[in-house]
């Protein structure tokens, strides 16, 4: 038996006037996904436990089969896992965005989608500056992809690390246009370690504001990456091995380090796809082809596509519809065709909604379709927020999806 789980990140939404009251999932032309729905089972699920913010970290940990309430320690550590960064129980791993700040406000949480090459130069400059200024500096910046990086701070003890990990930090994409000081005050920000973390963020601006990389970006009409924003921190998690839990070999295809990190901690094979960017320009066709190959020697393949989520953050309705259609044409259709004649089960679901009218994640339920090659489906006719309500799937916690697929619990 083969299993494939498609994750069109953030694809569910609210009705939109410019789509005549439809959501992007309703408006998109998706014959392959709709065929999967008509022959499968529909319903709702929710991947984010009540006590957690609706981030891709928590939501995708659920989809991968692990209860966040048992295993989640923060977003930064998951990305560190994908980058092979070794940490101890004294380390706190932060997400580190290169941002554009203007008049002490969050002008752009991704600094105009700075290139990885430019960002690497900036991260190196920050390491040189802080290590040169503070003899006992215990932090290090690690460059990632585009605006997504990491900062690891080593505390004196595991207890201090846990306290710093519990500091409330704000996702930069949730505070667009807001005052930066107001989002780093109160709630323990006056304590010694949090205060130093804030100092690092503000001092980064002194290094980056007039950096040659940013001078060139401004000259070319681009936004400068003139500050870093630290958030999503945590200590190193301990996930059980997926095969030990489910008895299956798993792989993940994604352009996002966060999901690669979850997979790495859980013992997945990480399938690197050339052209997988985690943005609108991702190579959908390549993801489909690599998924087909991965299913030849893995029992389970998770195929994650970030583009709908990015379109939601950008409040770009047309791009969100286009991304969903590209997923249908180049990924879902070819993968399902490749499995014809085999025993297999497939599921498709967003991790969370990212409505274009909100511009960030919400914790609403998401639509779920489960297809089985040896079962007749229900009354669901398409994959969208309304049609799945006609389906027969009971709503269950998102982390139970893998068990439901294995045990025919649908």
**CA quadruple 271, 275, 277, 278: dihedral sign:** negative
Please, what sign has the CA dihedral across residues 36, 41, 45, 47? negative
Delineate the domains of the chain, giving CATH numbers in brackets: 2-72+238-406 (3.40.720.10), 82-234 (no CATH)
User: Is the per-residue pLDDT at 320 higher than 90?
Assistant: yes
Percent of the chain with pLDDT over 70: 100
β partners of residue 3: 300, 345
* pLDDT reported for residue 184: 96
Q: What pLDDT score was predicted for residue 82?
A: 78
The residue-averaged pLDDT of 147-173 equals 94
Say how many C-beta atoms besides its own lie within 10 A of residue 133's C-beta.
Answer: 10
CA angle in degrees (0–180, nearest 5) for 15-21-27: 85
186-190, 240-244, 393-397: range with lowest mean pLDDT: 186-190
Nearest-Å Rg of the Cα atoms of the chain is: 21
Average pLDDT, the chain: 95
Residue-wise pLDDT for 166-177, tens only, equals 999 999 999 999
Report the alpha-carbon distance of residue 320 to residue 355 in Å, rounded: 10
Query: Residue 228 — φ and ψ, nearest 5°?
Result: -110, 150
pLDDT in tens, 273-310: 999 988 899 999 999 999 999 999 999 999 999 999 99
In angstroms, rounded to a whole number, what is the distance separating the alpha carbons of residues 144 and 390? 43
- Quick check: 236 pLDDT over 90? no
Q: Model pTM?
A: 0.79
Q: Are 65 and 403 in contact (CB under 8 A)?
A: yes
**Confidence class for position 351, pLDDT limits 50, 70, 90:** very high
And the tokens for 75? 């977003």
- Tell me the two tokens of residue 391: 């389906």
Does residue 6 register a pLDDT over 90?
A: yes
d(CA 269, CA 267): 7
């Amino acid at each position: 038996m083969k299993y494939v789980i498609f994750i069109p990140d953030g694809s569910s939404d609210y009705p939109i006037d410019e789509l005549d009251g439809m959501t992007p999932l309703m408006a998109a032309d998706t014959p392959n996904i709709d065929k999967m729905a008509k022959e499968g089972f529909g319903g709702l699920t929710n991947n984010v436990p009540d006590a957690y913010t609706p981030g891709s970290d928590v939501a995708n940990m659920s989809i991968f089969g692990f209860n966040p309430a048992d295993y989640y320690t923060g977003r930064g550590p998951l990305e560190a896992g994908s980058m092979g960064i070794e940490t101890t129980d004294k380390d706190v791993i932060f997400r580190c965005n290169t941002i554009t700040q203007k008049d002490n406000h969050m002008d752009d949480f991704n600094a105009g989608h700075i290139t990885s090459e430019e960002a690497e130069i900036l991260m190196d400059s920050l390491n040189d500056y802080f290590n040169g200024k503070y003899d006992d500096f215990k932090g290090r910046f690690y460059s990632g992809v585009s605006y997504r990086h990491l900062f690891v701070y080593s505390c004196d003890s595991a207890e201090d690390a846990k306290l710093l990990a519990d500091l409330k930090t704000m996702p930069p994409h949730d505070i667009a246009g807001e005052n930066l000081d107001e989002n780093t005050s109160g709630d323990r920000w006056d304590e010694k370690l949090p205060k130093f973390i804030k100092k690092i963020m503000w001092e980064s601006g002194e290094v980056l504001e007039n950096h040659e990389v940013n001078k060139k970006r401004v000259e070319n009409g681009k936004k400068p990456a003139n500050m870093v924003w630290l958030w999503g921190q945590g200590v190193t998690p301990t996930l059980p091995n997926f095969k030990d839990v489910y008895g299956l070999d798993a792989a993940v295809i994604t352009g996002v380090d966060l999901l690669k990190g979850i997979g790495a901690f859980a013992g997945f094979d990480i399938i690197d796809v050339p052209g997988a960017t985690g943005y609108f320009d991702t190579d959908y066709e390549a993801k489909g082809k690599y998924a087909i190959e991965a299913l030849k020697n893995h029992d389970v393949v998770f195929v994650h596509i970030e583009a709908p989520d990015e379109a939601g953050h950008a409040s770009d309705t047309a791009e969100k519809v286009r991304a969903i259609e590209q997923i249908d044409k180049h990924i879902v259709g070819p993968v399902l065709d490749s499995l014809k004649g085999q025993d297999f089960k497939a599921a498709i679901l967003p991790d969370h909604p990212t409505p274009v009218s909100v511009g960030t994640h919400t914790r609403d339920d998401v639509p779920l379709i489960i297809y089985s090659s040896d079962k007749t489906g229900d009354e669901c006719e398409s994959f969208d927020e309304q049609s799945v309500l006609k389906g027969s799937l009971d709503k269950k916690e998102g982390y139970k999806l893998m068990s439901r697929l294995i045990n025919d619990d649908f």
